[in-house]
Structure 1
Amino acid sequence: MSALLQVRGATVRVDGRADGATLLDAVDVDVHVGEVLVVVGPNGAGKSTLLSVLAGDRAPDAGTVTLDGAPVAAVRPAELARHRGVLLQENQVSFPFRVVDVVRMGRAPWRGTDAEDRDDLVVADALDDADVTHLAARRYPTLSGGEKSRASYARVLAQEPRLLLLDEPTAALDVRHQERVLARARDHARAGGAVVVVLHDLALAAAWADRVLVLAGGRVAAHGAPGDVLTTALLTDVYDHPVDVLPHPVTGALLVLPRHGGGGAPDPDQALPPLAEDLA
């Protein structure tokens, strides 16, 4: 399978200095059409830095980044914006725009093209997909943190990029909207797009990823299918905290459970305790 986006040997240092701290160290990654790639790792692992490299917003100090075989740095900004959409962790809007106007900003890359004729329909669909239609007339600064996150997600969807790059899109969301955002991302991939999502929630990574990339100290610690990568031993080592990975007793899906209060080293062969209904 050919990669839509390919990174080889990406190295990023603080301020680009050879003697500066290394944020990314010789990272290789392929982003494939039809897949959701989830990037996980502890604080400071290099997740957001990698996303900025994938987006073409930050040139690596060493290594290459190509989109459809062409160097990302050679793609004009307007064209790049039609190919990839980026949702940052923090989304600041300085003026009291209405939500619908913020979402409509996502159509800017298509101004002057035939696609501009579809603006109203695309914006309406994006508002619906992000569950913010009822907030369309609200001023963005009056929204809650979760509502702002969903409005910003709608703006990225309205951009209609083939590649979605999402940095912690579920951090401020309740359970229902976490599932909705990631379901929409998976639909995007299945429809011929590609998605890279940075997540801290390992349970969500296990549930929604086609592939998982684990970063630690700026390096790739593991890369592959969730069942191969999200293991008790690896996660306990990477996060320096006991983590249990167990099969759900009914669905068989992976359950990723950090131990609370220490709890000692996890036993990978430990069975999941019986469900409450089994004890009734």
Structure 2
Amino acid sequence: MNPLLTVRGAGVRIGDATLLDGVDVAVRTGEVLVVVGPNGAGKSTLLSVLAGDRAPDAGTVTWQGEPLAAVRPGELARRRAVLLQENRVAFPFRVVDVVRMGRAPWEGSSSADRDDAVVAAALAAADVTHLAARRFPTLSGGEKARVSLARVLAQEARLLLLDEPTAALDVKHQTRVLAQARRHADAGGAAVVVLHDLPLAAAWADRVVVLHRGAVVADGAPADVLTSALLTDVYDHTVDVLTHPVTGALLVLPRHGSHERQEVAS
């Protein structure tokens, strides 16, 4: 399958710090690509490069062969939608108005005629319809995260770039968010999701990229990439990878208990 978005040899530096080092990543239509790695591995930096928000100091980024830097901002906003880790709104807008901001790239186009229906669908998809009249600052952290997701869905971009979208959510809404990424990919789009939760990565990814110290150390199917040896090395913590006895699904379980407490204490 021809990639939708391709990064080749991407390098990003800030002063003496190397955030990305020779990174190659291809994002394919119909795929949920999950990026994992420890803190400081370069995950958010990679997402900003994929979004076109940060030009790499080295390497190339192309959208179906076209340099991403050559895409005009308005067109870029119609091609990709970005969900950041922080969910902030400068003024106390109502939830429905925050979600409607996602329609801004389509203003003046024929797609703008569908704004009301798209906003309503996005509110429902993120399970925030009942919050539509609330002011954004009055929401809990999890509710803000879901409203921000609804805004991204309302943008109707082909590529979703989601940075830690499940961090503030309960189990039900974690599942709902990743199910939306799956539906988007199945409908002909693509989704790149940054996760710290390895069990969720194993459950939902078509492909996993593991970043460590700014470099890609593994890229492939979850069963091939999420191995105990690799994850234990990358995270510097024992990670067990098992097979569920009933479903046969991959179980990725960071080890916790007295042995780990003793290691930390020592």
Q: TM-score, normalised by structure 1?
A: 0.92
1:220-274 deviation line (CA, Å, top 9, x unaligned): 010000000000000000000000000001001011111114637xxxxxxxxxx
Between the aligned partners of 2:259 and 2:222, the Cα distance in structure 1 is 24
**Is residue 162–residue 194 contact of structure 1 (8 Å, CA) maintained in 2?**
yes
Between the aligned partners of 2:253 and 2:190, the Cα distance in structure 1 is 28
Between the aligned partners of 2:228 and 2:258, the Cα distance in structure 1 is 15
Between the aligned partners of 2:130 and 2:142, the Cα distance in structure 1 is 14
Between the aligned partners of 1:58 and 1:167, the Cα distance in structure 2 is 15
Between the aligned partners of 1:25 and 1:263, the Cα distance in structure 2 is 35
Report whether the alignment pairs 1:54 with 2:50: yes
Q: 1:237 is aligned with what amino acid?
A: D
Question: For residue 268 of structure 1, what is the aligned residue in structure 2?
Answer: none
**Is residue 242–residue 262 contact of structure 1 (8 Å, CA) maintained in 2?**
no
Question: For residue 4 of structure 2, what is the aligned residue in structure 1?
Answer: 4
Matches within 5 A, 1:1-280: 1-14=1-14, 17=15, 20-261=16-257, 263=259
Q: 2:217 is aligned with what amino acid?
A: A
Between the aligned partners of 2:259 and 2:204, the Cα distance in structure 1 is 28
Between the aligned partners of 2:59 and 2:138, the Cα distance in structure 1 is 43
Question: For residue 274 of structure 1, what is the aligned residue in structure 2?
Answer: none
Q: 2:10 is aligned with what amino acid?
A: A
5+ long unaligned stretches in structure 2: 261-266
Between the aligned partners of 1:153 and 1:232, the Cα distance in structure 2 is 32
Following TM superposition, where does structure 1 have runs of at least 4 consecutive aligned residues deviating by more than 4 angstroms? none
CA separation of 1:223 and 1:262: change in aligned 2, threshold 3 A: farther
Between the aligned partners of 1:263 and 1:184, the Cα distance in structure 2 is 38
SS in 1 for 2:101: helix
SS in 1 for 2:167: coil
Between the aligned partners of 1:57 and 1:156, the Cα distance in structure 2 is 16
5+ long unaligned stretches in structure 1: 265-280
Between the aligned partners of 1:147 and 1:223, the Cα distance in structure 2 is 33
SS in 1 for 2:259: coil
Q: 2:131 is aligned with what amino acid?
A: L
SS in 2 for 1:118: helix
Between the aligned partners of 1:199 and 1:125, the Cα distance in structure 2 is 25
SS in 1 for 2:241: strand
Between the aligned partners of 1:79 and 1:124, the Cα distance in structure 2 is 24
**How many percent of aligned residue pairs carry the same amino acid?**
79
Between the aligned partners of 1:122 and 1:44, the Cα distance in structure 2 is 36
Aligned residues: 260
1:94 Cα deviation (Å)?
1.1
**Is residue 242–residue 263 contact of structure 1 (8 Å, CA) maintained in 2?**
no
